[in-house]
Amino acid sequence: MAHDDLLDFDFDEIPLAKTSDDYYTPKWVFDALGLEFDIDVASPVGGISWIPAKRYFTQYDDGLAQDWGGAKVWMNPPYSKPSPWIDKWLENANGVCLVAASRSKPFTQLWNECEAIAFMPFNLKFVSGMGKEAGIYMPTVIAAVGAENVAALKASGIGFVR
């Protein structure tokens, strides 16, 4: 199914696989970054119209099993098991990701190995699988690897970037 084929669907018309992990990054984040991504590696079925990605992998494609090949990726992975996603994202070394901040080994690895990272606003509202605003209880960070992505994050105004 081509990405463009689903851009005009309303949320309740897209055959989403609804789970507790279905929280999508709001459009303003992508507007601030001003980047176009090659792949959204953890997308719902049908993609998300405001995520500027040329293609996407859904849970049915198993984004972790796919070859990202150094492509510029956007990643907002399932927060229930972020470790393999963070590992693969760091190995790919080209992209931007949004993940929960925690006292965990995967987050510490991300903090230590990414080239740029910033905490998202404390009141960040995601878009739920039903198209409604929804907050989560955990703080989140946005991280970048690759020169173009790091520059975009620093210029975005999203927050203090280290």
Question: Residue 9: pLDDT above 50?
Answer: no
Q: Average per-residue pLDDT in the chain?
A: 89
The CA–CA distances, whole Å, from 8 to 46, 62, 87, 97 equal 10, 24, 34, 25
Question: Residue 137: pLDDT above 60?
Answer: yes
Read off the pLDDT of each residue in 126-148 and give the average, rounded to a whole number. 91
Determine phi and psi for 5, rounding to 5 degrees.
-65, -20
H or E, element range at 95:
strand 95-100
Write down the pLDDT at residue 2: 36
Predicted confidence (pLDDT) per residue in 36-66, tens digit: 999 999 999 999 999 999 999 999 999 999 9
Which of these, 144, 74, 142, 139, lies nearest to 101 by C-alpha position? Answer: 139
**Torsion on CA atoms 125, 131, 136, 142, rounded to nearest 10:** -60
Contact 73, 94 (CB under 8 A): yes
Which of these, 110, 108, 32, lies nearest to 75 by C-alpha position? Answer: 110
- Please, which pLDDT band fits residue 128 given cuts at 50, 70 and 90? confident
Read off the pLDDT of each residue in 75-79 and give the average, rounded to a whole number. 94
